[in-house]
Amino acid sequence: MLTEIAENLWCSEHDLFMPGRMHFPIRMTVIRLRAGGLILHSPIPIDDALAAELAALGPVEHLIAPCKLHHLYLPAAIERYPDAEVHGAPGLAEKRADIRFDATLGEGVAPWESELDTQLIDGVPWINECVFFHRATRTLIVTDLVFNIHEVRTWMSVLVLRFIARAYRKFAQSRLWRFKTEDRRAAAASARVVLSWDFARVVMAHGRIVDEDAHARTREALAWMLAGSPVALPRAA
């Protein structure tokens, strides 16, 4: 089912269950471009009912796999929308050689350039996340850059989010980013670009949408990254 976020912006949610009794709520964001075509950001499973809702909005023209961790449901989306252009994060085509990619995010001129800004979070090749700014609605669209997860269905998810990611029931960035960042200066430069955007809302792939004090809260969540220097991991409370 689609939920309207703002004009020409919707989302649909799904429950992802992974090995080890892990559960994460995940979200696909849908953007309608001015010409009428749709972008599906981080596709989830699309059944006939959801496909009918999407068809009522416009033709699906672009499928985006915005980081190296969000690709599980992409093959099925390509099968359903074979004429859509498939855009993947840098390195994802090598990781998933079984998937057809038509373009790499951040390379060349994006077909949505006049409506959305795109920024690769440099220095973190483990994930190579690209984030987006939908100017018309002042919305920052991310996958794993920040979480805001308040409800999960397994105790293992609670343990991982609370004691490893340290991002449970709050708007925060997973501490795994600190382990995985290889070039902190590059990551800091990318974070500064993101924070130069005048966004008033954050739509992430995992957790509740933030539409109050979104910019200030994002700056706080990315504070360690902005510093551009190593930060020791604190002990779990």
pLDDT, tens digit, for every residue of 137-146? 999 999 999 9
> What is the pLDDT at residue 163?
59
The mean pLDDT value for 181-190 works out to: 96
Query: Quick one: residue 125, left, alpha or beta (phi over 0 = left, psi -120 to 50 = alpha)?
Result: alpha
| Residues 158 and 92 sit within 8 Å (Cβ to Cβ) | no
Cβ atoms of 206 and 27 within 8 Å: the answer is yes
Tens digits of per-residue pLDDT, 8-62? 999 999 988 877 777 889 999 999 999 999 999 999 999 999 999 999 999 999 9
- The pLDDT score that the predictor gives to residue 233 is 39
Q: Where are the beta strands (DSSP E) in the chain?
A: 3-6, 9-18, 22-32, 38-41, 60-65, 85-88, 103-104, 116-120, 130-134, 139-141, 201-203
Q: What length does the chain have?
A: 237
201-215 pLDDT, tens digit each = 999 999 999 999 999
DSSP conformation class of 121: -
Mean pLDDT across the chain: 91
Residue 237 has pLDDT above 60, yes or no: no
CATH topology of domain 3-226: Metallo-beta-lactamase; Chain A (3.60.15)
CA distance 234 to 108: 40
Q: What residue spans of the chain are helical by DSSP H?
A: 48-57, 74-80, 92-95, 155-159, 176-180, 184-196, 214-221, 223-227
Task: Characterise 188 by phi-psi region: left (phi > 0), alpha (psi -120 to 50), beta (else).
Answer: alpha
Which pTM value belongs to this model? Answer: 0.92
The sign of the torsion formed by the CA atoms of 229, 167, 120, 211 equals negative
